[in-house]
Amino acid sequence: MSTEIERKFLVAKLPDLSGADKAVVRQGYLTAPDDSTELRLRQKNDKFFLTLKGGGTMVRVEREAEISSEQFETFWPETAGRRVEKERYTGQLPDGRVYELDVFLGDLAPLRLVEVEFQTEAEASAYTPPDWFGADVTADKRYKNKTMATSGVPA
């Protein structure tokens, strides 16, 4: 079983992204907003994925499989009304950790969130983010992509 341990933050100010990798992402949810499990389709540049995420906030089960563009397009219409579009920047922090910074597009603009993954819960709990990170929204379910896909930017 694959477990994801991550914290999520608002972005107080954009860092220098010149060294980061950029991907255009569109994702849609096949499960209802009130379902604790997420089943998501994602296109990241020219790759396609089906992802299952369990309930939880900082720690949760995650399973992902790459699928063909044809498989993606078969199920994509079922995500209508439950979609997110964003640009994702992946870079390295001075402490060696990897960050994923999402700049949301469309109805979720100008929202920006950054995530950092960890090996253990203790490491995640002890983490001190850099100055450009804003408020910690890890436990705030309003900032889950699945919730925002149907409810919009949190008020």
Q: Which pair of tokens denotes residue 131?
A: 């100055």
- Tell which residue, 84, 82, 102, 104, has the closest CA to residue 35: 82
Identify residue 68 by its one-letter amino acid code: S
Evaluate whether 119 touches 75 at the Cβ level (below 8 Å): no
Query: Which residue in the list 29, 89, 99, 143 is annotated as catalytic?
Result: 29
Separation in Å, CA 79 to CA 83, 109, 131: 6, 20, 36
- Which neighbouring-strand residues pair with 84? 27
Answer yes or no: 143 catalytic.
Answer: no
Distance between CA atoms of residues 50 and 26, nearest Å: 12
Residues with active-site annotation: 29
